[in-house]
Amino acid sequence: MIELEKLNEFTESHGALRTGKGLVSGVIALTLAILCLLGVLAFHFPQYLTTPELRKSYDVNVIRTIMLAAMAAAGGISLVNILFNRARWLATFAFAMVALAALLGGHKVEVDPNFPDHTPYIGLDWFILDLLGSSLIFIFIEKLFAHRKNQPVFRAEWQTDFHHFIVNHMVVGFVLLATNLIVHKFFGWAANDGIRGWVQGLNFWVALFLIILVADLVQYWTHRAYHEVPLLWRLHAVHHSVKSMDWMAGSRQHILELLITRTLVLAPIYVLGFSKEVIDAYIVVVGFQAVFNHANVSVRLGPLRYVLVTPNFHHWHHSQDQEALDKNYAAHFAFLDYLFGTAVKSTKLWPEHYGVLGDYVPNGFFKQLKFPFTWKG
């Protein structure tokens, strides 16, 4: 029971992880172990725990190989930490998760190819693949091109952002369903076959530029409204409360804001009738930029920074510096802020401090979930 109390206390804490104590390796082992367990459950119940569009895109045998390697790594790290008494309570939980995953069939679970489709689902496969892919790619990029070189991977408040990452990915099915229903109900009247036919006849690269531009115009004005309308700021303040910028910082987003923003951005995309290929490419672009622009990387792109949103551009948006408040709203095209007069024009290269001015947003996922409804400001 003492170990369970330690784990609860650890997951609810907000500090950076101290190195040399087995905590960093223990967290890595526990994360891999839990992902393996979730993967096993997804193999058992694919109709409820996997994303219909995504499961058509990956090779199950490759996933099995990755799962076996992850189980071996998590089990090995856990055993070493247990033997050398390095955060043994954490290593014990990690090893228990690996053992449970193995008992449930591990990477050898057979999947019935005739499982029912079109069922309500939680996107466990999307969560697992995105966490593994994002962490491997962006942590490597951050170490290679770090802006704040002394910032650790497990920096202060990483637990809160990880909780947001988990929840926002777990409810991806609900968000997609809800946004589709809302868009069809409230914007279906605006769809025009003539305009849709013209858009679908565009060259792929022209259409990709157009979809990003249209989406970013909506994103710009929606984002600006989050800052200028007090009621909406209650939601958006959660996102701005992050004090350390890195690849996971963008995950700190209230679920209601996620739902509102995705609905408004999806509306013109649906009305204009972009092809599936263009929409798929847009999803890749927006997914990369959403993570990359929050990352701890020193990237400015020279003169292109006046055209494209870079980490430097978006870091200024998260700054507490007076000259940067309510500036740099664009998500993709920086020229929109220069066009509408909201670009940061500073003599400094980078901001000094991040977060909400006044630091009034509490730490912790559940506290931040309640914040828009309980804040007295």
If one counts the domains in the chain, the total is 2
Residue at 130 is within a domain = no
Residue at 135 is within a domain = no
Condensed to tens digits (0 to 9), the pLDDT of residues 295-314 reads 999 988 888 999 999 999 99
Give yes or no: residues 315 and 186 share one domain.
yes
Give yes or no: residues 252 and 364 share one domain.
yes
Give yes or no: residues 191 and 331 share one domain.
yes
Tell which of 121, 153, 185 closes a domain. Answer: 121
Give yes or no: residues 233 and 327 share one domain.
yes
Q: Which amino acid is at 225?
A: A
Give yes or no: residues 112 and 185 share one domain.
no
Cα 165 from Cα 169, distance rounded (Å): 6
Burial class (CB in 10 A: 0-12, 13-18, 19+), 151: middle
Q: Structural domain of residue 315, as residue ranges? A: 172-374
Give yes or no: residues 116 and 257 share one domain.
no
Which tokens in the block code for residue 195? 């305009």
HEC string for the chain: CHHHHHHHHHHCCCCCCCCCCCHHHHHHHHHHHHHHHHHHHHHHCHHHHCCHHHHCCCCHHHHHHHHHHHHHHHHHHHHHHHHCCCCHHHHHHHHHHHHHHHHCCHHHCCCCCCCCCCCCCCCHHHHHHHHHHHHHHHHHHHHHCECCCCCCCCCCCHHHHHHHHHHHHHCHHHHHHHHHHHHHHHHHHHCCHHHHHHHHCCCHHHHHHHHHHHHHHHHHHHHHHHHHCHHHHHHHHHHHCCCCCCCCHHHCCCHHHHHHHHHHHHHHHHHHCCCHHHHHHHHHHHHHHHHHCCCCECCCCHHHHHCECCHHHHHHHCECCHHHCCCCCCCCECHHHHHHCCCCCCCCCCCCCECCCCCCCCCCHHHHHHHHHHCCC
Which tokens in the block code for residue 99? 């053992």
Give yes or no: residues 31 and 104 share one domain.
yes
Condensed to tens digits (0 to 9), the pLDDT of residues 30-44 reads 999 999 999 999 999
Give yes or no: residues 107 and 181 share one domain.
no
pLDDT tens string for the chain (377 positions)? Answer: 555 566 656 666 666 777 777 888 989 999 999 999 999 999 999 888 888 878 878 888 899 999 999 999 999 999 999 998 888 888 999 999 999 999 999 999 988 777 777 777 777 888 888 888 888 899 999 999 999 999 988 888 899 999 999 888 777 666 666 777 777 677 776 777 888 889 889 999 999 999 999 999 999 999 999 999 999 999 999 999 999 999 999 999 999 999 899 889 988 988 898 998 999 899 899 989 999 999 999 988 888 999 999 999 999 999 999 899 999 999 999 999 999 999 998 889 999 899 999 999 999 999 999 999 999 87
**CB-CB contact of 365 with 250 (8 Å):** no
Give yes or no: residues 86 and 181 share one domain.
no
pTM for this prediction: 0.85
Residue 129 to residues 135, 162, 169, 292, 335: CA-CA distances in angstroms? Answer: 10, 15, 11, 17, 33
Per-residue pLDDT, 169: 78
Give yes or no: residues 356 and 245 share one domain.
yes
Residue at 150 is within a domain = no
Give yes or no: residues 356 and 284 share one domain.
yes
Condensed to tens digits (0 to 9), the pLDDT of residues 56-86 reads 788 888 999 999 999 999 999 999 999 988 8
Give yes or no: residues 312 and 194 share one domain.
yes
Which tokens in the block code for residue 76? 């090995």
